[in-house]
Structure formats: structure tokens, C-alpha cells
Amino acid sequence: MVTKKMGLGKGLAALIPEMTIEEPRTLLYCGIEEIHPNRFQPREHFDETKLQELTDSVKEKGILEPLLVRRVTEGYEIIAGERRWRAAQRAGLREVPILVREADDRVALEDSLIENLQRDDLNPVEEAMAYKRLVEEFGIRQEELATRVGKERSTVANTLRLLRLPAEVKEHLLRNRISSGHARAILSLETREKQKELCDLIIQKNLSVREAEAQVRNWMKPKKSSMQDRRADELESQLNAIGDSLRQHLGTRVRVIARGPKGKRGKIEIQYYSFQDLERIVEIITESKTA
């Protein structure tokens, strides 16, 4: 293992805020074959276009920011900077600048997560998976986790909820075919079948988040059963027939208004257009009563 030491510029500490003043500030150059990817890397997918852009930059200017690594049995393991390492390999570099930090598994995962969050590099699913590992494998409570990553506890909780999505939906979110806003709307639906149906609809029709939310509200509206529909139609037909009969008998507009689920209560509205018309209608009604 051949490494070359180099003085660390004072600006580097600002790029890696996790460092403390007690940690050794020594920049090394080591062979690229001595570097191994991070076992705790939260990111599963690397954007090919962005990676190629970084490779072109590395070819032209080299690696301007060192990789943060920790010592392992065979060389070094990346804590932060895997994209730079991949770009360096593509660019044909034989050695890369590294900054060595003493870190256990928990610290390695935390640092890798925080580094990606600070760069906004993580997909929501990848972020949720990283949170899950910190909570389950290292026993970090959500409140503490939110403090460590600089986010609200509700934000962390909502991100973790994304892991409840069906596998197909998570894959679409991972591939950026839908957004986290779409995913939250999908989670509002109770069944996985409906969740997958809405996801497909969002992709097919290119729905916005608001349109997806509107679709959820529409699907969640209570619907009458076919029996209820038939009973409602029968009641309306009966009331219309009664109204027609009264209109013919009284010679004026009559409206029958039902109240309650079965129309057992209600009222009858009879129109009159003058005092004489009212007397006429009353006379008809009273005559019918005495007949």
C-alpha cells in the first residue's frame, strides 16, 4: 500500500462538517485499487448522465474534493464520495485524494447518508431505506434521527412511510417516474390494488400531484349501492307522480320535497299568484275535504 501525505487546505474542513478539531488533518493519495465502495451506501442508482458529466470534469481538472474513507482490512472503504471514485475509474486515474476518518459501521452509515442529503443526491426511497437502517440496526429513535440529519421529525416519518408502498410503486419512485408528492397521494388509498392503479394512471396521463390528490378524493367518495340507487329512483318516481296529480287537481305549481333516507318525511309547496288564486286553491282543498 503506497500513500503520499499532503497538507490539508483549511477550506476542506468546511466541506466535511462532521470532522472535529481533534481528528488528524492529513490528506493522502492512494492507489484507486485500494478503495472499496461503501457497504452502507444509501444510494442504489447512479444517474448515468450526471456520472458521465463528472467523469468528463475529472478528466479535465482531476478530483478537487478528496474522498472521505475509513480503514478496513484490505485498504480503505468509502464513507462519502463514491461518485467521484467511480468517475475517477472511468477517467483512468491511478490514484485519488483521500481523507481518512476513524469510523464504526454506524458512523459510516450516518456520514454517507448526511453527505448525500446535503447534496440532494438521494432518491426518496433510498433516503427512506437509509433511515430504516439507522433506526433498526443502530436503534436510533426518529426524534434523534431527525436532529442528526437536520430535518423535522414529521418529514422523517413521512419519508419512512414510503416504504409501505407496493414494490412496483416504489420502483417507479426509485426511477423518478413519480415524485414523493405523488407517492404520498398514493399512500392515501387503502388497498394495494388501488395504489398500483393510481400509480399507473399518474404515469399514463402524466398527472400532477394536485390531479393525483383530486383522483384520490374522487375514489374515496362514498358510493351508493345498486339497491340504494333503485330505491332512490322508485321514491323519486312516486313523488313525481303525486306532484303531477296535485298540479292537475289544483291548477298550479306543486312541489313535493322528501326528507330523510326513505322519504318518510317532507313537505308540499303549493304556489299561488294572487289573493284570489289563494282563495281558489283553498276552496278546492276544503271542498275535497268535505266531499
Q: Is 193 a catalytic residue?
A: no
Beta strands in the chain (DSSP E): 3-7, 26-31, 35-36, 67-72, 75-80, 95-100, 254-259, 265-270
- Residues in the chain, total: 291
- C-alpha of 154 from chain center: 13
Least Cα distance to 175 among 197, 210, 203, 198 occurs for 203
116 with 43: CB under 8 angstroms? yes
CA–CA distance, 81 with 112 (Å, rounded to integer): 9
Set 23, 53, 82, 193: catalytic member: 82
Question: Helix, strand, coil: what percent of the chain each, to 5?
Answer: 55, 15, 30
Output the CA angle 116-119-123, nearest 5 degrees.
60
Give the single-character DSSP code of 93: -
Q: Which residues are catalytic?
A: 82
